[in-house]
Structure 1
Amino acid sequence: MGTIGRTSNNNIARTTTTTGTTGAAPAAKPATAATAKPANTVKDGFDAKATNSAVRTAAPAAVFTAPAGAKDKAYDGKIMGKGGQAFDASTPLSQIPAYEPKGGVKQPGTIIYVNGMMTDKAGQETTMQAIADKTGQKTIGIHNSTEGFFKDLGQCVTDKMDKGKNPAVDTLADSLYTELKAGRDVHLMAHSQGGLITSRALNDVAKRLRIEDGLSPAQVQEKLGKVSVETFGAAAATYPDGPKYVHYVNDKDPVPGLFGLGTSGKGPLDLLKHAGKDAKIRYFSEKSIFSGAHNINDTYLNQRVPFDQARAG
């Protein structure tokens, strides 16, 4: 007669008894618990290739807190995370808590957004959430602080000339160099003066790769090929070769028309402009300077299409 007994750990063992012979069959192997397949989650691009678990799980450095009554200048060049948290420029990007789409993360990677002139910290926060919602990607920022129209305009002029110190340029250049040295892809978005900052930072990284790393011009371009750049109404007229570019230009927006890559019409100054090798420029015509032609949230982001689609078009 066969009997079935359960051990205390719920593993099942079978014992068989026959007349004149007593023997116990060897215990069956413990049942293996079914392992649920991991959810289809999107991995953050900054730590996708990290091998050091301590680096991947380390808590971010202390949140930067400006002195009471400090103006927006206090956040110049800081890395901006979810909820308006600001972090020192040396903080690893993988440790920055990102803005996430309200409907959940749909696309891999994390976008770094650089704002334009006359945009304070709160304004950049609004745009970072708008970018996350539009793209389905996590989004962080590098803050380009505002000190008012005339000081901001003066800084645009020095950025054009690649002169003077701009903390946002320094932070972006250092972050790009670190990510590229680690072999990771980087996705940038920039609006208005943010395009100048991006162009200047990319040129700084290219020089650093040549001088410090001893790379040839062809190797520098190959390394920069891991950078994807989207600009919106940018004030920069030239960009280094290597990155993959998509530039959005509103023909009704005087900023790119006068200071950036120009409008869809041809002109003699086109010879002085360079959108980057194999760049795609997507022109459109909407509103006026008085009704939001230069606005990124309500105008430019409405024209934005997925990056690969824009590059293929």
Structure 2
Amino acid sequence: MVVMFMPSQAGAPTTTPLPYTASPLKLLVSDVILCLSCIRYLPGILLPLKPYSSGKLDELYPSRGNLTALAVHGVLIVYQVAFILSLPVLLFLPIYICLFYIASVFLLSNRICAFLNGRQRFLVSHVPLPRSDHESEHWIFINGVGVGRHWLQSNLDRLSLTFGRKITGIHNETAGIIFDVIQCLIQRCFCYATEDVRDAYVFVKQTLLNEKYEKIVLILHSQGGVEGGLILDWLFDALDDKTLGKLEIYTFGNAANHWNNPTRKYTDQGKPERCIPHIEHYVNSEDFVAMWGILDFIRIPSRYLGDVFIRQGSGHLLNQHYLDTMFPLSHDKRQVLGENEFMRQNVKLISCGSTPKNTDFTMATEKLAQNRDIDGIGSKLRDYSRLWRYRNGASPD
């Protein structure tokens, strides 16, 4: 097996319309059609069900907290699907009955979700770490669809074990998987910033402006990619190049329809230098959410900046389907293995659907070839993944 690798595009001018600047209603209709066209991959969100390589940290491990979350989500899925199917009936009812019915449905749904979400917006990892030299770094995580407080804490602890750092989580509260997907489409089509997006923007901006930190690492999963993309677009307007240069971004199963990283200056050789120095996207090829997110929109030249690594397989859960396959833990579950099947796989270079003569693709492949010549390395994934070099408290710098 090989990993598909699309190096970051150069962002050359293109006549292709930007996907997020068209009519919001047209975008929404297009997104609904796109989402429905991928519906046969819906079971791939939870598959494979095993193994539980991270033990109780895996979302489908049969622990009390996980089983409770799954049971509540099961109730919400049935409840919300039934509500959507009942909507045509409202056309034949008086308006006041319709309003009362809709308000009642959302009120009960919110009450059920409150049980999953808890009350905290910000959480931190609980993994005990040895004293390290990472005091000048701040790692931040924004979760994806369907994640309540319990799963967010598991995500934070797994990330902390993986990278040997304290992780701060900003809770993107779940409204149930069905309503989360709808919210996701609304957020990216209408550029709608929910309360958690606004809270996250303030937190990330304050952290970037804090002179104590020299490096800010932002990790995003699923819908967290949509929210992170909105936050990033705001940051480009608010902060200078030096401050933005402290930021690194890594995404998993990104659901966003674009990813910007504008050029602010050129080197003496005429090569562009980006505002954000390091962006990497990791994705499973049959991840239902990613199929109407990153996997569809990377085909548009110049609109999904950052290196893209595509693993052949299904699954959308952060711990069980991404971290367990890309950053598996040792048998004692205390650190990441030094070698694994995913990082040993060969890399197959792909373009964004453009020809090899496309300026973006040519510049990206030239950069890739230069890096290989300098490092004297082969075509294994571990040779190109910057995030891999952060494992177990290490640093790529």
Q: TM-score, normalised by structure 1?
A: 0.58
- 1:188 is paired with a residue whose SS is strand
Corresponding residue for residue 303 of structure 1: 326
Q: CA deviation at 1:157?
A: 1.2
Contact kept, 8 Å, 1:72 with 1:147, in 2: the verdict is: no
Q: CA deviation at 1:180?
A: 2.2
Distance 1:75 1:194, change over 3 A: farther
**Which of 169, 173, 187 is residue 217 of structure 2 equivalent to?**
187
The reply on whether 1:285 has 2:306 as its aligned counterpart is no
Contact kept, 8 Å, 2:207 with 2:216, in 1: the verdict is: yes
The reply on whether 1:249 has 2:283 as its aligned counterpart is yes
Q: CA deviation at 1:260?
A: 1.8
Equivalents in 1 of 2:208, 2:180: separation in Å? 30
Equivalents in 2 of 1:165, 1:99: separation in Å? 29
Letter in 2 for 1:201: I
The reply on whether 1:80 has 2:107 as its aligned counterpart is no
Identify the structure with bigger relative contact order (alpha carbons < 8 Å, sequence gap 6+): 2
Q: CA deviation at 1:223?
A: 3.0
Letter in 1 for 2:286: K
Aligned pairs for 1:33-112 (under 5 A) are: 70-72=114-116, 75=119, 78-81=121-124, 98-100=125-127, 102=128, 104=130, 108=134, 109-112=137-140
Equivalents in 2 of 1:150, 1:298: separation in Å? 21
Letter in 2 for 1:157: L
Letter in 2 for 1:282: F
- 1:239 is paired with a residue whose SS is coil
Equivalents in 1 of 2:310, 2:193: separation in Å? 32
Q: TM-score, normalised by structure 2?
A: 0.46
Contact kept, 8 Å, 2:225 with 2:256, in 1: the verdict is: yes
Equivalents in 1 of 2:301, 2:200: separation in Å? 25
- 1:230 is paired with a residue whose SS is strand
Identify, as 1 or 2, the structure richer in helix.
Answer: 2
5+ long unaligned stretches in structure 1: 1-66, 82-97, 210-219
Larger radius of gyration: 1
Corresponding residue for residue 187 of structure 2: 159
**Which of 197, 207, 214 is residue 227 of structure 2 equivalent to?**
197
* Number of residue pairs the alignment of both structures matches: 206
Q: CA deviation at 1:114?
A: 0.7
**Which of 296, 299, 307 is residue 270 of structure 1 equivalent to?**
299
Corresponding residue for residue 123 of structure 1: 151
CA shift digits 1:29-81 (9 cap, x unpaired): xxxxxxxxxxxxxxxxxxxxxxxxxxxxxxxxxxxxxx9x94445647x1113
Distance 1:110 1:181, change over 3 A: closer
**Which of 218, 223, 228 is residue 243 of structure 2 equivalent to?**
223
5+ long unaligned stretches in structure 2: 1-110, 262-274, 328-384
Q: CA deviation at 1:179?
A: 2.0
Contact kept, 8 Å, 2:117 with 2:149, in 1: the verdict is: no
Contact kept, 8 Å, 1:128 with 1:141, in 2: the verdict is: yes
Equivalents in 2 of 1:238, 1:163: separation in Å? 11
RMSD: 3.0
Letter in 2 for 1:270: R
Letter in 2 for 1:249: V
The reply on whether 1:144 has 2:144 as its aligned counterpart is no
Q: CA deviation at 1:282?
A: 1.6
Q: CA deviation at 1:308?
A: 6.8
Percent of residue pairs bearing the same amino acid type: 22
Contact kept, 8 Å, 1:237 with 1:261, in 2: the verdict is: no
Equivalents in 1 of 2:190, 2:237: separation in Å? 13
Contact kept, 8 Å, 1:238 with 1:273, in 2: the verdict is: no
